[in-house]
Amino acid sequence: MDDYPLLNVFWTMLWFFLWIMWLFLLFKIFTDIFRDHEMNGWGKAGWIIFCILLPFLGVLVYVIARGKGMTQRDVKQAKESEAAFQDYIRKTAGTAPAGGGGGSSADELSRLSDLKDKGAITEEEFQRAKAKVLS
């Protein structure tokens, strides 16, 4: 270990970290290129060739030229994923979407339990309403 000083270890780790960061950015850019439905095939091919032939310059130019669009596409995909996830939860739980009419028995029981906890209804009223919901 004497022939490789601590400062050289630091610089090696720094360069390795920067290389890994650049790889993540390169994969993010390739993902964005293929996700962009407004760009035609020739444009996608051009950006990919540019990023492969001149990797550092290609990545830098792409981020400068299309960085705002990358963010917008990321936000759009996140919103679509969240909506699909919420829809899946509604279908799995058996509840109706907001504005789609009445709720499920579990929703009604939860509402009744909240009313009982707040003291708005008595235990007897809760039991009668619970029996009505479950029947």
DSSP state of 101: S
User: Given its phi and psi angles, is residue 94 left (phi above 0), alpha (psi -120 to 50 degrees) or beta?
Assistant: left
Instruction: Give the residue numbers spanning the domain of 126.
Output: 102-135
Within 63-125, strands assigned E span: none
Model pLDDT, residue 99: 46
pLDDT of 87 > 70? The answer is yes
pLDDT of 97 > 60? The answer is no
pLDDT of 94 > 70? The answer is no
Place of tokens 């407004």: 38
Model pLDDT, residue 89: 83
Q: How many domains does the chain have?
A: 2
| Contact (CB, 8 A) for 105 and 134 | yes
Kindly state the average pLDDT of the residues 82-111.
Answer: 73
Q: Are residues 54 and 72 in the same domain?
A: yes
Model pLDDT, residue 115: 86
Model pLDDT, residue 21: 92
Q: Are residues 58 and 120 in the same domain?
A: no
Q: Are residues 23 and 86 in the same domain?
A: yes
Instruction: Give the DSSP letter string of 64-75.
Output: HHHHHHHHHHHH
**Is residue 130 a part of any domain in this protein?**
yes
Residue type, 123: E
